[in-house]
Amino acid sequence: MTQKFIAGNWKMNGSTAANDLLLSGLLAGIGQPACQVAVCVPSIYVAQCHGLIAGTSISLGVQDVSQHESGAYTGEISAAMLKDCGVRFAIVGHSERRQYHGETDTVVATKAQRALGCGITPIVCVGETLAEREAGQTEAVVKRQLAAVIHANGHCISELVVAYEPVWAIGTGRSATAEQAQQVHAVLRTQLRAASSKADGIQILYGGSMNAANAKDLLAQQDIDGGLIGGAALKVQDFLTIIAAAQ
């Protein structure tokens, strides 16, 4: 069994004062967590958050990384820059990036490659829309999204974290049931096993309205190795409760 991993996705929330309050609250209550913990912060706050959590049990992550290595890409932040500033994890292919920024499966796969190339662990998000679920396409969609990442990253995929995030569950308060999530996680595990002999060690997180009330049930499923948490990661007590549920 792999160690569980709870990662917070702060999205475009926070301020220097709010980050300070949130991280000091988490550090005061976290004790010695039995799982891995990370917060994926807006890139502008990487330096501040690194200063607050360096040397603690909370690791630093971001929410995106450039598909380009370096050069004339105004506004972009490269994997090497993130690594230089103490970042360990980068979410790639979040549905909000796919939806609002036109990120294709190929772009997401390249981003994962850039992160891995610089020693940053990509948290690769896959997930179907409600329309795709209702059309019976869930399995085909997540397999297509993951296949692009496997294709581009070969044997390095054992270094990834995968997050199954059904789009209809993100930020809606309507989580997948533990059974629905486990069903898709099992599909992803099978796909990873076909590509890597180390697939059983790849953490597959669930994300989509995971909260203090439903975390235990979701995290008890065989192939759910942790959670990618949005809204509940902004509340100290809720995030701590989810971490405690990941034992």
Q: Name the residues annotated as catalytic.
A: 94, 165
Give the alpha-carbon dihedral of 74, 80, 81, 85, to 10 degrees.
Answer: 160
Tell me if 38 contacts ligand PEP by CB under 6 A. no
Residue of the chain from 208, 218, 238, 244 that contacts ligand PEP (CB under 6 A): 208
230 binds ligand PEP (CB under 6 A): yes
Q: Applying CB under 6 A, does 39 fall inside the site for ligand PEP? A: no
Q: Which is nearer to ligand PEP, 157 or 229 (CB)?
A: 229
User: Site for ligand PEP (CB under 6 A): which residue of 79, 184, 205, 210?
Assistant: 210
CB of 71 to ligand PEP, least distance (A): 30
Verify binding: residue 165, ligand PEP, rule CB under 6 A: yes
C-alpha pair distances (Å), 105 with each of 67, 100, 102, 143, 224: 12, 14, 10, 11, 23
d(CA 166, CA 18): 29
204 binds ligand PEP (CB under 6 A): no
Q: Is 128 exposed, middle or buried (0-12, 13-18, 19+ CB in 10 A)?
A: buried
Measured distance CA(226)–CA(165) in Å, rounded: 12
Q: Which residue is nearest to ligand PEP (CB)?
A: 230
Tell me the C-alpha to C-alpha distance, in Å, between residue 179 and each of 73, 161, 183, 194, 199: 43, 21, 6, 23, 21
Write out the two tokens for 37. 């913990």
d(CA 58, CA 186): 28
Q: Does 162 bind ligand PEP (CB under 6 A)?
A: no
Least distance (Å) between residue 9 CB and ligand PEP? 4
Q: Is 110 in the site for ligand PEP (CB under 6 A)?
A: no
Of 14 and 208, the one with the shorter C-beta distance to ligand PEP is: 208
- If binding is defined by CB under 6 A, does position 229 make contact with ligand PEP? yes
Note whether 171 binds ligand PEP by CB under 6 A: yes
* Contact set with ligand PEP (CB under 6 A): 9, 11, 165, 170-171, 207-210, 228-232
